Structure 1
């Protein structure tokens, strides 16, 4: 009888471990509190669970507000925090680690921009590359990779479903570049931003050394596209624009994007307009227009109140915008 019980116990442990290893790991929560949920199996303890997810058992206990002196119960749910130690969205890991994909289930009316914002602002380019899907193809219920768990090959039961390398978008430096550009737009003082970059070139005296330590990064990642406003004659989507008699006027805002500066692919967020629609945004103060593809609805946040549309920072740059809110006419 005792042997039968032992055999049944081992079978239960094996099936539980296999089930956890094969099921897709779902990311829970939102930045900066992303986590996984683990169901305690027979014979597991703080240390064995820590080895599965490549994280200190102390961090698991702290995340769950439980003391490590308390024994775990079979079936107990534990939050497994995702930190720099065990979570990657940049393709970096130790030599003895592998990447295990982590997923997010797409909800109704959810698009890449919102998913990116919720998951550490991972670039939309990476989301599209990891999942071989574009924003236009998103559907509720889809399983979308939003990052990777880094686990030790020799310690984690999840390692069997891991890989040595992941694809990363080829333009990560642009994130730094656009951050500087958006700061210039939102501060309503784009000219000073240009002056600062010019001032860093001529000075060669010793007194400028402290500034040079901070300035090289934007200078190195600044291709010709960031030496001035974006100028793509309306943008990449101009040829796809087909006006159907719809128009709206009102205040517009800006959001950050790595797209548009080099390729002219401008994007917009707008309510009650189908995803994928190309809209024409005109700014009367400069008599300029750009053409942008709608990624989804305006995010439900304080900054969106009173806006009819938000456009990418590169698009705002081509319009010659110098304010964080500006009046536009939108046609589509």
Structure 2
């Protein structure tokens, strides 16, 4: 009798899990969308590539600016448009997107809402009749994703049968074994290492706000043009390893021949933490600054855009005076090249 109850509980739990992994479509006055929660190392560009949509479409849809970076855990709306939303009856390419049935909603109403036919909805959801219930999740299309977003495969019958055939005692033993493996008890040695790592963690010094540090800027006039990308991590600075990591995750961007200036900063002189203000680049991006015709280069973190003002007129970038010193910049006509990834 206990085995029968266990079998029933497992089937209900598995069915609920399979149903909850659907991507749910929502809508606003701007159109249909799904939600995405930002995870570490994600930015506007990587999320755009994941859902096969330009970040220039995502940002305004959310009422945000790409000049402002994204926060871990932040929820943003991914628009469903022709480039990433597939509703082809025969070609079910992508991850299923579902509509949750509300009160007084029938198949005809839902079909017209998503510009598909009742036959399409019935085929995608394997419905033999027009009867649907409040709370049902009905597939209304498929979102194209470059990287899998979730596990949306239906649970195979063979796997369910295998679980059902197991006795209650063996199932409990397996769960206990999993819990022991998943939650190891830290040894004193590992605890000591953890403390050491926390002590070794370097806290970045507070950088002065742009309004205060953009004084006595030197200006170099030049004509913008593109250059060949040197993506090597050879150079000076605390952020060289971060640059190497970002080079594996984004597409190379390059710039040469631009107007730039220098601002005063107390950071970088001893710790190699160089900072820049750079237009049209996401804050947090690491850039490689090189002196043309030499092997001198440094790595710097972008704090934000160059603020407007007479002293910044026409400038694309401002770097800390510690970065300028590390590059050996004395003459104001020194030509630079920039490389970064997004």
On whether the aligned pair clears a TM of 0.5, the verdict is: no
| Structure number, greater radius of gyration | 2
TM-score by length of structure 2 reads 0.36
